[in-house]
Structure 1
């Protein structure tokens, strides 16, 4: 089946998501490694991505680890610095696809409150034809249910979906459902794939 819609992950595809980079800058790499060894911050974030209240989750974790309280609270107070900058070439590809009449969806692990903040910081997040945000869905990638929910909502057969994500586990889960996939490593590689599929010209994908 030809591609009926293109689906973008957001973190590290359209917006860089590098919490460790910010912590390295603020507290140094050695202390950051120690903190991440003691505190499952990404696990905490998974809860937020499932729909838990962002501030409450961060505050609860900070209270549990008082030795890292101030650093953990940065996950809330300095989140925008962790989720930056935008990946401009990927944003251009999103807009080029829509200009070419190709339906473009987002499928992202993102909290309810963090996505609201992301929209304010990055208005292009409002430009998708459909948006599948895990916090509102109550399930995260790479669980099969989230992909099933996308299929049910959009009504497109799995083989008609082309999905890009930077995480191998998320790609494998989509592969298992019969989606067409692209492991995102850089925007040029994604641009080349869109050209090879006949969705964009080389000029449009620049």
Structure 2
């Protein structure tokens, strides 16, 4: 076994195409400005991240409706119609995961910011999630990336040596947090770039 024995994948944006715009483009009849306004002003990224960190969806939804009662119906759609935000697998990255699985050389883990209430929907839809030896879901742990605790949970639970692990994520803050833990981070841009960077680390696919 080479320098690395563990590869940790983020899921959303790396292996799974998830985007709330897929839902709200339908809601707002393709009006991209209105979609952007709603997701930047009402159902924001930071609001959603609180659910990734364990806040119950019902609690967060009711808080937002209290703040913006005039948009109640649109706010409720966020989680009522959440499956429509799943665009499908990112096939090139899934192919890399499958080839790594066939090698039987690496421990394959996933570390994802995801609500524990919606993650089971993805588990039913994407069979490749069964290829992981373990998946750490932020909503279960009541913390999220890029906070140090969730990396510690992952390392401890699966007995990972940080210096022997590679972490793949599409968010630079999450990569920098992993680097601070001694984990080698790869900022994901596309499957071709990922394969080149893995090859450069001696992980031949």
Q: Distance in 2 between matches of 1:16 and 1:181?
A: 20
Indicate yes or no: 2:23 matched with 1:22: yes
**Residue aligned with 1:175, SS:** helix
Over 3 Å counting, the alpha-carbon distance change for 1:193 and 1:38 in structure 2 is: closer
What does residue 10 of structure 1 align with? 11
Count residues with an aligned counterpart: 201
TM-score by length of 1: 0.89
Asked if structure 1 preserves the Cα contact closer than 8 Å seen for 2:22 and 2:84, the reply is no
Q: For structure 1, which segment, 89-98 or 104-113, has the greater mean C-alpha deviation from structure 2 after superposition? A: 89-98
The gaps in structure 2 that reach 5 residues or longer are none
Query: Unpaired segments of 5 or more residues in structure 1?
Result: 202-206
CA distance in 2, matches of 1:184, 1:154: 23
Structure 1 residue 111 displacement after superposition = 0.8
1:161 to 2:165 alignment: yes
- Give the Å deviation of 1:22: 3.4
Q: Is 1:15–1:87's contact at 8 Å kept on the other side of the alignment?
A: yes
Q: 67, 86, 100: which one pairs with 2:89?
A: 86
In the alignment, structure 1 residue 43 sits paired with structure 2 residue 54: no
106-115 or 119-128, larger mean C-alpha shift: 119-128
Alignment of structure 1 residues 43-62 onto 2, 5 Å: 43-62=46-65
1:146 to 144, 147, 150: 150
Please report how far the alpha carbon of residue 81 of structure 1 lies from its aligned counterpart in structure 2 after TM superposition: 2.1
Match of 1:189 among 189, 193, 198: 193
Q: Is the 8 A contact 1:90 1:187 kept in 2?
A: yes
Distance in 1 (alpha carbons) for counterparts of 2:156 and 2:71:
43
Q: Distance in 2 between matches of 1:148 and 1:85?
A: 30
Aligned counterpart, 1:114: 118
Q: For residue 63 of structure 1, report the CA deviation from its aligned partner.
A: 4.4
Q: In structure 1, the residue corresponding to 2:168 is in which secondary structure?
A: strand
DSSP 3-state at the match of 2:50: helix
User: Which segment is superposed worse, 120-129 or 48-57?
Assistant: 48-57
What is the aligned partner in structure 2 of residue 99 from structure 1?
A: 102
Cα distance in 2 between the residues matched to 1:130 and 1:22: 30
Match of 1:204 in 2: none
Tell me how far 1:56 sits from its aligned partner. 4.0
Name the SS for the 1:6 alignment partner.
strand
Give the TM-score of the pair, scaled to structure 2: 0.89
